[in-house]
Structure 1
């Protein structure tokens, strides 16, 4: 059976396969159980296997590459327009083949085990930080009902808690103090776990040349560097830095028609977590650029004066994304100033 490209609609147990030849004519269609998938693909021996870039796609991508098959992962949003008539597994698999056959289609690189480890650490850390924030807000809400107001920052919260616990008069009853102690113990455990994820991130930094290269950029620290490498790898899938910044949603959203261009706010496409890290890093750089006289600081000060602080932060994040693409995609890169944030 001459199958040039095989589309797989991934699932937990039952996978839908759709095979086509070089001309795009359907040659194969079947449902396969999970245990039989690898054997079936090996027997069909397609030149290309195409899948949507979902949770298990990178695992299967590595398995198929091990047996010498080219793997193409496609963002699900690019597959949806090719689904004909009703949505079902068979039509989804056919749409994947159709999308993967387009010469202008953009593909997602298969992530390595190391990249997925980095990604897992960042997801766990993000969850723990959210849980800590929720816990602090819960305690602040309970204290607010007793007439005790604490600032929103975690640092201010930690400074105020010893004083609050020492109050034994009025509404601060022993029962309420016991509740606070229980919640604070939970927060201590969360902070220990967050510190452990920071240690893992530091270990990734130490062992990754790519992470060390992009950490030399002002506004890029260990967390941002490891998150970027986990998401984009060597960045060779991006033609230039502009494509990476657009993928991160750091470029204006366009709504143009009839030859008239209309540019709006940033598109906010792609990974929200990465975009947030880059913008927060840029804000730190802007804070320390005030009063400096070097060329970069003067450019940032002028940008803040002309366009405002928030636009300047996004502009710097966009610029940093472009520099990251160059550093990751070229072995030598180029010289960067010292003083990474």
Structure 2
């Protein structure tokens, strides 16, 4: 039984290694990995879910497809905006982006900010907390990924002045 388990673990590691090699060869996935909190799995999921950016009118629609936009509970002229919908959207991608965003926030606690986005994120963490900031970063990541895929450009974060 133990040998079977070890063999299965080795097979999984081999498959993950082959998958990582394939992802590294893909141009779009390589560009998406430059985003904060996006690794191999996140890049692949973003490419699969967003696919052809022409399916969405704008980045907000792409973020809504993933389930990272606030739900509206409006009626009778009263606008009420709630939290994100945990039911709609791609839960695997949303989870991967959330975990990546939390990792980015943890890194920011240990080092100084290098980009404008990191300054924005650290200020948001101070105001609203880690989890709200992680969802906001995941939302921004999907919108940025949409723009990268649509325009075919490299991600170039706005660096802080030295």
Q: CA deviation at 1:333?
A: 5.0
| 8 A Cα contact 1:250 1:275, kept in partner | yes
Mapped to 2, the partners of 1:322 and 1:190 lie a distance apart of: 38
Give 1:145-184 correspondences, 5 Å limit: 182=1, 184=2
State yes or no: 1:271 paired with 2:55. no
Do residues 293 (structure 1) and 79 (structure 2) align?
no
Residues 138-173 of structure 1 show CA distances to partners (whole Å, capped at 9, x for unaligned) of xxxxxxxxxxxxxxxxxxxxxxxxxxxxxxxxxxxx
**1:205 corresponds to:** 23
* Secondary structure, counterpart of 2:55 in structure 1: coil
Higher strand proportion (structure 1 or 2):
1
Alignment of 1:308 with 2:126, yes or no, is no
Q: Which has the larger radius of gyration?
A: 1
How many angstroms apart in 2 are the aligned matches of 1:304 and 1:202? Answer: 32
Q: Per-residue displacement from partner, 1:273-316 (whole Å, max 9, x unpaired)?
A: 11111111111100011141333333222111111111011010
Deviation at 1:185, TM superposition (A): 3.7
Instruction: Measure, in 2, the Cα distance between the counterparts of 1:337 and 1:230.
Output: 27
What is the rounded CA distance, in whole Å, between the counterparts of 2:14 and 2:65 in structure 1?
31
Q: TM-score, normalised by structure 1?
A: 0.43
CA distance in 2, matches of 1:204, 1:236: 25
Q: 1:337 deviation in Å?
A: 6.9
State the match for 1:113 in structure 2.
Answer: none
Report the 3-state secondary structure (helix = DSSP H, G, I; strand = E; otherwise coil) of the residue aligned with 1:289.
helix
Cα drift, residue 200 of structure 1: 2.9
In 1: Cα distance, 2:11 partner to 2:158 partner: 34
**For residues 180-201 of structure 1, what are the alpha-carbon distances to aligned partners after superposition, in whole Å with 9 as ceiling and x for unaligned?**
xx3x444423322321231232
CA-based RMSD: 2.0
Contact 1:292 1:298 in 2 (8 A): no
Give the helix-richer structure, 1 or 2. Answer: 2
Q: Tell me the distance in 1 between the aligned counterparts of 2:42 and 2:158.
A: 18
- Within the candidate set 242, 256, 275, 2:74 is matched to 256
Q: How many residues end up aligned between the 2 structures?
A: 156
> Could you tell me which of 20, 23, 42 is aligned with 1:224?
42
* Alignment partners' CA distance in 2, 1:305 and 1:316: 14
TM-score (norm 2): 0.86
What is the CA distance between 1:325 and its match in structure 2? 0.3
User: 2:117·2:158 contact (CA, 8 Å) conserved in 1?
Assistant: no
